[in-house]
Every structure is written in C-alpha cells, then in structure tokens.
Structure 1
Amino acid sequence: MPRRVLPLTDVQIRNAKPRDKPYSLTDGHGLYIEITPTGSKLWRMKFPQRGRGYNRLSFGAYPVVSLLEAREKRFLTQRLMAQGIDPAQHRDDQKRQTLEKASNTFELVAREWHGNKVPTWSARTADNTLRRLELDIFPAIGRRPIHEIRHRELIDALRKIESRGSHEVAHRLKAVCAQIFSYGIQIGLLERNIAADMKDVLKTVRQSHFASIDTDDLPGFLDSIRRNESRMLKPTLICLRLMMLVFVRTSELIETPWSEIDLEKGEWIIPWQRMKRGRITVNPDMTNHHVCLSWQALLLLRELHAITSGGVYLFPNLRDHTRPISNNTILKSIERMGYKGKMTGHGFRALAMTTIKERLGYRHEVIDRQLAHAPPDKLSAAYDRAQYLAERKAMMQAWADYIDSL
C-alpha cells in the first residue's frame, strides 16, 4: 500500500529551517516545497512525461506564492495533463507568446499593417499616412507593446493633436489607429480594439466644402490678382490664372510635366493614372482626361514654356527642380491677396461649376465631365466621351471670354 502523504500547513512551511543541503516537504500529487541552505522556500511540481521519465515545474517562492496559490497551480497543471497537454511545453509556449507580444510594439505592428496596405493605396496616401503616424502617434505610444496600450494613452495622443487645432487630423488618425488595432486582433496579438470604442472622445468636426468665392465676388478677385502681380513670381501668377481657366484639381495642375502639353496642337491630355478616379484600387477609370484649352490658356502656357521648359514640370519647385511646387504655394498666394479662408485652389472648381451653369447656361453634364467627375454608369461614361468633347471645348472658350469681359 502506498504511503499516505499528509497535506502541508502554513505553520509547517514557516517553521521549516534551512539545512546544509536542500530538502523538501511534500504536499501530495507531485507538489512539494524545496528549502535551500540559504533559507529560500521554492514551490516545485514533479510530473510524468510520456516515455521521458519525470519533469519539474517551478511555481515561485513562498510566501510570495502562498500554499493556496501553489495548490491552484497544481490543479491547473493536472487539468492540462488530463487534456493530453505537456505542462512543460505549455509553459514554454506561454513564455514565447509573452516575449512575442512584448516585442510587437504598436509601431512595429503599424508598419507591418502599412506595408500590407501600400499596394492598394496611391503613393500620396501611403506617404501621408505613415508621416502622420511618425509625427503624432509613434512618439506617444509607438514603443509600447500593442496589447498593453490603454484607452487613456491613445486618447492623450489624439487630444494633443486636437489641442493644436488639427481636429480633422485627429479624427483621421483615430480611424487609422482603429485599423491598426483591428489588424493586431487578426494576427492574434490582442483581443480588443480600443480605438473602435472611442466614439465621443474627440470634438465633433463639422463637415465643410473647400472655401470658394461666389460668382459675384469674381470681379473683385480678378482685380486683386492684378494688384498683386508685382508681388508674385511669374510662374505662380500663371498658375493662379490657369487654375481659374481650366479648373483641374490642384495636384493635377502643379504636378503636370511638359510632356503632357502639345503647344503646336493646343492640346493637354492628362493620363488616367494621374487622375483621381484612375488612382483608385478597385475598377479605376482608365480614361485619359482632355483639358480643353481656350486661346487664353494656351497663351499662358506658351509664356510659361519660355520660363520653365528646361525642366520636367510646368511649375518646378524653386529649391529642387526635380519636384513640382507644393499646394501651399497656391494657398499662400491667395492669402496674400486677402482671401484667406475665402478661397482655395479647389475652390476654382466650385466657382466654375456655379458660374458656367448660372451665367453661361451650359448643362450640368458637360461641366461635370470637364471636372472629371464620375458619370453615373457605363453608358453615361461612353456617351460623355463620344458627345461632350466638342461642347466642352466651346464651353471652355466661353468661360475664358467671360473672365476677360469682367
């Protein structure tokens, strides 16, 4: 008959004195406490391994780990064994997972997520997203293991952005962080998306359109351009006037290479890859955009050609001619004219849409196509290309003449 082992008591453990050699007191079912010559009292558990004799687990030191806690650990170990799980292997797996989680910082996971998204984004979106994370989020929580980040930490980082008046940036970065935490859940690093819970922590941003003057303000705006001519570089002045005459998107104008312009034929065709709807990942619009040029716009381009045709772009950056000017160049020029908050580069598109419809009487569909907006369906898209080009050319000349008449 096997010898019966009496369970230990706290009194026995407390009174156990060190000896010259380590010895142990047994609690039963493999659990025992080892008393070392230095007086340390360490919990151990001995358990059988299939075909490999016995192995041991360490449960920590007494009294930090109490008798009751040691027995709880023994119970959990026995439950693993009953499920056919090797307790030692389970312990090693847990350690590995803990180390992996600790090494998976928010910045590391964010960069991995960003790398996966890059093929589906435009280069500008990819660069802007990473730059914003590097400026505003990584310094705050980038080094923290992603599974340890708490609501308060993320809220503080977002409110710091908000406090400098960048409300829209704060909301966009909250949405980006929600996607990063979601990715962390999908790869098994955490179980909860804390950013998705944050519905009311930031101030509500009222959606607004790009600032634009009204049709009745156009004569005053033109007069302001004339009065400020001497304060602008010639390419900047031409850029402003072209923005008004052709009303393409700001990026589509300032990033235009001379290779797209045919001054002899009086044509400017923007390849679909540079257009907004050409850069979308799913079903991009692969239609090149004809920028119908009035004789006034063509005259400006010929004047500009004499100045900047030695480089790649119509509007090269003054510091680095291999790059175009920035959108900020246009905004600052408009601000110096006294129209800060009243007009933007994108505002020329809204101005043209309203004025051409109301004052020149052209149909919405024709203007919409010149703005390169998406047609409602494939049939409409085909009709646009087949029928509207002649009307658009006439409309763009009428628009330039109308501006001259003011």
Structure 2
Amino acid sequence: MTLSFLNAQAKVIVAALTIGAFAIGLDTFVIIGALDVISRDLGISTAAAGWIISIYAFCYAVFAPLNAWMFKGMSRRSIQILSIAIFTIGNLVRAIALDYVIIIAGHVIADVIQKGRSIKIATDTRPGKAADKPSWKETEKGLNKIADTLGRNRLARDIESEEIIELIRPIYERGAKSMADHVRSYMHAAFSWGMKSDNDYRQQSARRFRIPFNPATGIPTEPKVKGTRWLDEDEFVQLYRWLECRDTPVHPPYTRAVRILMLTGQRVEEIASLHIDQWDAKEKIIDWSTTKNDQPHAVPVPNLAAELISSINVNEYGWFFPSAKDPSKPVSHGTLYSFMWRQRDRGVIPYVTNRDLRRTFKTLTGKAGIPKEVRDRLQNHALQDVSSKHYDRWNYMAEKRAGMMKWDKFVRAMLAKKHVKMAA
C-alpha cells in the first residue's frame, strides 16, 4: 500500500507546518546555551536570565487549558497558522529588544498562544453519538486497528473500496466472519459520519473531509444468523444452581451478574455496567437514562433479583459488578462471555451464551403467562408504533410490575420443584 496520497501543494503545506512546529519546540531549549551571553549583554545575573526559560513553564501551566477552551471553535489548521504567526512576532520583539523586561514580554507573547495549541490540535470538538453508546470502547479499539493498517495520517477521501476489501478478506478467510462484518460496519459508519459532518449546517467547524462517496457501501454484509437457542426449565435450574454453588474459583461478581441476567432478561452490557445510581432499592427498579436503542428504560425486577442485588456490597466506585483487573471499571460484557464459554466447555453448565439467556427470559416468561407486549416492554425492545417511539420510561410500570411478580413465582416454583426432585 502506497502512502503517496498528497498532491504537490499539500506536501509543501505539510512540510511548512512541520518545520514551523519543530521550530516552536526547539525555541524553548536553544536559549539555554546563550544564557551567559544574554546576562552579559543586558547587565543582569545568569539567574535573572534564567527567568526567560522559567516563563515558559508558567505560560504552559496557565495558558494551555485556557487557549484550548478559547479556540475550540477554530479548525486545527487555523490554530497552527495563528500560533506560528504570533510566535514569529514574539521572537522578532525579542530579537530587537535591548531591555530585559521587553525580552520577557516577547517571550510571553510567543508562548501564550502556542502552549494551548497541542491540546486543541489533538482533539475534535464536533458533536457525535459514539461516546453515548455502551459499545463505544470496543468500536474505538476496532477503528484504531483499522487506522493503523490503512495509514493513520491518510486523508479519508483517498481510501478506496479495494483497500477495505483487502483489509476484510484475511479476517473472513480465517473464519472470523462476525469480526469481518464488524470491520465493514465500523468503516461504513465512520465514512457516513464524515459525510454527514461536512453537510451539517449546525456545526461551525472549518474542517471538511470532502468525502465524495462511502467506499464501504458496496461491500456486502454477512447474512445475519438469528439465534434460536434458549434454555428449558431443567437447563435453567442447572445453570442457576451452579452459579449459586460453583465447583471452581470464579470472581464472585461474574456469577451474580449472570444470575441477574437470567432473572431480568436485560442486555448483558447494561447489567455488566450496573451502577448504584441506577438502582432504586425502595421501588426495586433499575433505571437507565440511555440504553442500546437510545431509549431510557426503567424495569422493576423480580423479588429474587432484588434480594440478590441488595445483598451485593458495591465497591468504592459504585459498581455492582467491578472488573477483577481494574475495580474502577465495571466488568466488560466480553469478559462475561468468556467466563460463560470456559464453564460450558467444561461441561458443568448447559451450552449457552449470554444472548441466549435473554431469549430464555422471553420464552419462559411467555410460558409463565406474561403477554408479549409486556415482555417487549420489560426487555426494552424497540417498538415501532408512535406511542412506543415517544415512550415514557415509567409507562406500563403497573403492567411490568405485575409481569415480574408472575415471573418471580414461576422461577421460585421451578427452583423448588427441581430441588425436591433432586432430594428424592
């Protein structure tokens, strides 16, 4: 893959900006070797001349965050050019100055603007929705790998469909069909965002991607395989009992999280990241302000789940299910998937994924006599009628509570029946 994607004019501009940025960085240190000469010329001590360098640290501490905020509406290119221009003026003042105070003033002028530059250049203030999604970390990781492969500094409009295909093909050929589909989706979403950003009249950024078309549009997606696996009553009890009394050391929060999944039927990423602020112990309700389908969701939990949640001591960060490696973060849904894989491969639990547990809840709650509409509301499925699209999270609360009471009795009966059968 060639990286000769810049035209002659662009190369000149990039070279000029690069040299300018290098000069700005070099300016801070080159003066150290001239302190003795400066002190003699101005008739001051070497220590006083050293303040010319110390003022750099002061300007950096004070003006870096201020400048990043003040110039947040400007494009990175404009900030870089403005920075170099004012830096040049400041250096000219120092070059012709015959007074110590004027030299210090010139140094401040040169430093004030450019110390916030590095912060702003490394950010993008345009609005986006990625960070609001539960899976944004996984998406960011995937996009970083793609950028490293295609060339992180390449212009988006120069990426061709063939390059994306060559990126995806090896992933597909090694059998990771789902991952290949994810990579295609990441690329398609990234280019779509860039094209929409160019045409978004609501934002004032001067930056434009100028992407003529989305190169990932014509790449076919992998046919979706609809899952059909769900646990019958015996398998449900087998898994639940093992999670209560496991035969191998397991990080306790992981087993509790899976039991909550079984009892509530919620999405794995939402239960995994359950925080104390989302739990209303008095009302026995979990309340999410945003979920995967961008809708708020409040769900009453069955008494079994409420008892389990109330027995958990959240950690100092407020997580019910903290990560074993980093308690400041919740366990990732990927870790819960891995945990389930390891146990089912040992043969101690039924063959099941966390998504199968959500399907199991839908199926067994139907067997318990809960209407489909209420089950959809409980699981926060995206309904297409007008009232559902503008649905208040507290609507249908009475129906949802009644449904969860039925489900609680059904689960207790299952566990008791199987327990009696095993005792006999």
Question: Could you say which TM-score interval applies, normalised by the shorter chain?
Answer: 0.5 to 0.7
Comparing both structures, which one devotes a greater share of its residues to strand? 1
In the TM superposition, structure 1's runs of 4+ consecutive aligned residues that sit over 6 Å from their partners are 100-104, 111-114, 183-189
CA gap of 1:390–1:293, structure 2 versus 1, over 3 A, is closer
Show the counterpart of 2:113. Answer: none
Show the counterpart of 1:319. Answer: 325
Cα distance in 1 between the residues matched to 2:372 and 2:197: 46
Give the Å deviation of 1:378.
5.0
Cα distance in 2 between the residues matched to 1:238 and 1:253: 10
What pairs up with 1:89-128 in 2 under 5 angstroms? Answer: 96=9, 116=126, 118-119=128-129, 122-124=132-134, 126-128=136-138
What pairs up with 1:364-375 in 2 under 5 angstroms? Answer: 364-375=372-383
Q: Answer yes or no: is 1:162 the counterpart of 2:172.
A: yes
Show the counterpart of 1:249. Answer: 267
Cα distance in 2 between the residues matched to 1:197 and 1:261: 42
8 Å contact 2:231–2:360 — kept in the other structure? yes
What pairs up with 1:2-401 in 2 under 5 angstroms? Answer: 96=9, 116=126, 118-119=128-129, 122-124=132-134, 126-164=136-174, 165=176, 166-176=179-189, 178-179=191-192, 182=195, 192-193=212-213, 195-196=215-216, 198-199=218-219, 205-209=222-226, 212-215=229-232, 217-222=235-240, 224-225=242-243, 228-263=246-281, 265=282, 267-273=284-290, 275-277=291-293, 280=294, 285-286=295-296, 288-294=297-303, 296-305=304-313, 308-338=314-344, 342-357=351-366, 359-377=367-385, 379=387, 381=391, 384-385=395-396, 387-401=398-412
- Provide the secondary structure at the position in 2 that maps to 1:401: helix
225-234 vs 251-260, greater mean Cα deviation? 225-234
| Structure 2 spans left out of the alignment, 5+ residues | 1-6, 18-75, 78-120, 200-206, 419-424
8 Å contact 2:273–2:319 — kept in the other structure? yes
**Percent identity at matched positions?**
15
CA gap of 1:338–1:102, structure 2 versus 1, over 3 A, is farther
CA gap of 1:176–1:386, structure 2 versus 1, over 3 A, is closer
CA gap of 1:113–1:229, structure 2 versus 1, over 3 A, is same
8 Å contact 2:268–2:355 — kept in the other structure? yes
Cα distance in 2 between the residues matched to 1:208 and 1:257: 32
Letter paired with 1:153: E
8 Å contact 1:102–1:145 — kept in the other structure? no
Give the Å deviation of 1:131.
2.5
Cα distance in 2 between the residues matched to 1:398 and 1:114: 52
Letter paired with 1:289: A
Give the Å deviation of 1:354.
0.8
CA gap of 1:199–1:389, structure 2 versus 1, over 3 A, is closer
Give the Å deviation of 1:314.
0.7
- Provide the secondary structure at the position in 2 that maps to 1:276: coil
Letter paired with 2:168: L
| Structure 1 spans left out of the alignment, 5+ residues | 1-93
Q: Which has the larger radius of gyration?
A: 1
What value does the CA root-mean-square deviation take over the aligned residues? 4.1
Give the Å deviation of 1:324.
0.8
Give the Å deviation of 1:237.
2.0
CA gap of 1:402–1:171, structure 2 versus 1, over 3 A, is farther
- Provide the secondary structure at the position in 1 that maps to 2:370: coil
| Paired positions, count | 293
Give the Å deviation of 1:244.
0.8
Give the Å deviation of 1:207.
0.6
Letter paired with 1:327: H
